[in-house]
Amino acid sequence: MSDIPLLPQVEAFLRRSHGLFIDGVNVRSHSSQTLAVTNPATGEVIAQVADADLADIDAAVDSANRGFQLWSQASPATRGNVLLKLADLLERNREELAQIETCQSGKIIQIARAFEVDQAAHFLRYYAGWATKLSGQTLTPSLPSFNGERYTAFTLREPVGVVVGIVPWNFSTMIAIWKLASALVTGCSIIIKPSEFTPLTLLRIAELAVEAGLPAGVLNVLTGGGHVGKGLVEHPGTHKVSFTGSVPTGIAVGRSAMGAGLTRATLELGGKNAAGFLRDVDVDKAVDGIIEAGFLHSGQICAAAERFFVHRSQMDAVLDTLSQRLGRLNIGSPLDERTEFGPVTHRQHQLKLLGYFSQARAENNTIIHGGTLIDRPGCYVEPTVILANSLNDTLLNEETFGPIATFLPYDSEDELLALMNNGPYGLSASLWTNDLSKALRMVPAIQAGTVWVNMHTLLDPAVPFGGSRSSG
C-alpha cells in the first residue's frame, strides 16, 4: 500500500506559523500559547495553532460587529453570490482541502473529498438559493374599528447579529459550512471556533471566503481550547450561539448562553442512535446496512447507529456474517486510496474507546469481533461488535462515538419499538424492512429527530436535521 503524495501547497500550509483569522486576514495571537495538531494516523505533530486569549476574543468580536454592520446591509443577491463563489472555490481547491482534513482528522481521503468538500459545496449552493427567498408576512389584524379604519401589519426577518459557531472535530469542514452558510445568507456575521484537534481546514477556508468576496470581519476563526468557546458565548458582543458536540458540553454552553443575557442558542448534541432490522430483511443486506450505519468514518458521526436490534431468529447469522465482513476490511493509512477503515481522530478518544472495551468485559458482554486497539502507530481501534446481555448494559446506554456496534435481540415488533425508544436521546434512528406498510406504521412511533428507512447517516440540505429530548 502507498499514500498519495501531499500537494506542495498542502505541505506549505502545514509549515506555516498559524495565527488567527480576524478582520479578513491572518493575525498573530496576543497569547504566546500554542496547541499542537497531531496526525492521528501517525502520531506525529503536523502543525501548531494559536491558543487564543481574551484579547483575541475581544478583537474577533469587534471585527464581527463591524462586519455585521456592512454585511447586514448587503442585498440578498450579493450574499447568495458570495456563497456560490465560495462553493466554486471549495471545488477548485478540493484536493488541497481534502488532504489537509485527512492529515488533521484521520478521515480517509475518499470521505474527506466526498463529504468534507463536495457536500460542503452542495450545502453552500443550497443556502445561496435561499438568499432571495427569505421573506416576512403581511397580516390583517382583527382590531376593532372606531371610525371605519382598517389595519395592516407586516413582519420582517432581520439578521440577529454576530453568531458564534462552535464546531466539533468529527466533520470540521462540513459542519462549519452549515453554520457559516446559514448565518451569512441571512445577513449575520460569524465567528467560528473549531475544535483544537481539527482547526486547520477552517483557517484555509476563511482565506477562500475573502477570495470569494466576503468583506473583512464577516467571518472570523479563533483557534484554541474550551476557554475560547466559553469566552465567545459569554461575550456581550455576540448574539447567537450554534453548537454541535456532546451532551455535557452542550448543556454547559446552553447555561452560559442563558446566563449571558439570554443569548439565543441552538444545540445539536449527541445520541445513542438505534437501528432496527425487521425479520424480512436479508442477512447480507442487513450487514450492509450495519456497516453503513455504524462504521463510516470509524463510527465518529453524531447520527451514526450504535445500538442494533435484530430478530432473535437472525441474530447468529447476522453476527457471523458481520464479523467476517469486518475482518476483511482494508485497515490502513487514510491517505491510501485503498483504505476502507482509518484511525479515530485523537489519542484521548482512542483511550476512551479502550475503556469501553474493558467495561464490556467487566459486564460479561460477548465481544464477537474486535475489542482491542490495533498495534500500529497512530490512533487505530478495531471495528468492534458486542452482544449485550440486557438493556441496562453500559454499551447500550452511553454514547461511545466510535466503531462499536452493540447488539440485542428482540422477539416482537412492539418490543423492537420499545427497545429503540429506550434511553434519554433522540437524534436519529433507522428502520430496515421490505414491508412498506410496516415502515409507515412504525416510523411515527420512533422517538428521534430523523428516522431513515433502509439507509442511515446520509443528509440532504433540503431535509431538516436535529434531535429531540437530550439530543438537542
Question: Would you call 286 helix, strand, or coil by DSSP?
Answer: helix
DSSP 53-118: -HHHHHHHHHHHHHHHHHHTTS-HHHHHHHHHHHHHHHHHTHHHHHHHHHHHH---HHHIIIIIII
- Bridge partners, 43 (sequence order): none
Please tell me the distance from the alpha carbon of residue 123 to that of residue 192, in angstroms, as a whole number.
17
Question: Terminus-to-terminus CA distance in the chain, angstroms?
Answer: 42
Contact 24, 216 (CB under 8 A): yes
Please tell me the distance from the alpha carbon of residue 25 to that of residue 34, in angstroms, as a whole number.
19
Residue 217, CA distances (Å) to 26, 58, 70 in order: 12, 13, 9
DSSP 315-384: HHHHHHHHHHHHHT--B--TTSTT-SB---S-HHHHHHHHHHHHHHHHTT-EEEE--SB-SSSSS-B--E
Q: Exposed, middle or buried: residue 451 (CB in 10 Å: 0-12, 13-18, 19+)?
A: buried
Q: Which of 382, 462, 171, 301 is nearest to 293 (CA)?
A: 301
Residue 162, CA distances (Å) to 290, 333, 419 in order: 41, 40, 42
Query: What cell numbers appear for 256 in the block?
Result: 452560559
Residue 377, CA distances (Å) to 40, 298, 334, 402 in order: 9, 17, 13, 18
Active-site residue list:
268
HSE-CB for 116 with a 13 A CA cutoff = 31
Locus of grid cell 401589519:
153
DSSP state of 153: E
